[in-house]
Amino acid sequence: MRKLKTTELNRLSVEDFQQVTKNPIRLVLDNIRSHHNVGSIFRTSDALAIEGIDLCGYTPVPPHREIHKTALGATQSVQWEHFSSTLERVQQLKALGYSVFALEQTEDSTLLDQLNSIDHLPIAVVLGNEVSGVDQEVINACKGVIEIPQMGTKHSFNVSVSTGILLWEMVKPLLKK
């Protein structure tokens, strides 16, 4: 096996990426604190051709050098908007026909491996603050809650790690279509 060179990866230009059909998945970032987490979420969203990201509340917005460190240019390719209120954005998305879920640990949550994203397209998922998670009022406004099964002592992933796990599981069934 030979490692591929960067020139062999067939990377799209930003202009070409913007023309590609995106996976009908939106991320709603609810008061994320870390610029690095935001940048990482942009980069993962680019890699999996996600429709867009909604940056809500005090979530940092591009351009910012700390976001750029981890996004590596994905803030130019992934569509994004800022909204002052996560709850208002969730209500707007619902009115636009999105199935809106929170990624959180709650009573009666649906484990990620038991959710068929195809049944809920277009879909938006709210990701919460690194310390306090998704606000309860926002959870109440969602169609449901998705939970990533965890078996260790922490029962907590970094929000950017959670995003990678979530998006891969949601995109996998779309690849088979």
What pLDDT shows up at residue 115?
96
What pLDDT shows up at residue 176?
86
- Alpha carbon 167 to chain centroid distance? 7
What pLDDT shows up at residue 177?
72
Place of tokens 């991320």: 27
Tokens of 126: 């709210």
Task: Name the band, by pLDDT with cuts 50, 70 and 90, for residue 97.
Answer: very high
Closest C-alpha among 74, 75, 61 to residue 29: 61
What pLDDT shows up at residue 111?
98
Q: Is 107 exposed, middle or buried (0-12, 13-18, 19+ CB in 10 A)?
A: exposed
Query: Rounded to an integer, what distance in angstroms lies between the CA atom of residue 172 and that of residue 160?
Result: 18
**Cβ–Cβ under 8 Å, residues 147 and 112:** yes
* DSSP string for 166-177: HHHHHHHHHHT-
Which domains, and CATH codes, for the chain? 20-175 (3.40.1280.10)
Q: Indicate if the pLDDT at residue 15 is higher than 90.
A: yes
Query: Rounded to an integer, what distance in angstroms lies between the CA atom of residue 7 and that of residue 120?
Result: 37
Looking at the chain, the whole-number percentage of residues with pLDDT higher than 70 is 100
Q: What is the pLDDT of residues 140-156, one digit of tens each?
A: 999 999 999 999 999 89
Q: What is the pLDDT of residues 33-79, one digit of tens each?
A: 999 999 999 999 999 999 999 999 999 999 999 999 999 999 999 99
Place of tokens 């169609």: 143
What pLDDT shows up at residue 61?
98
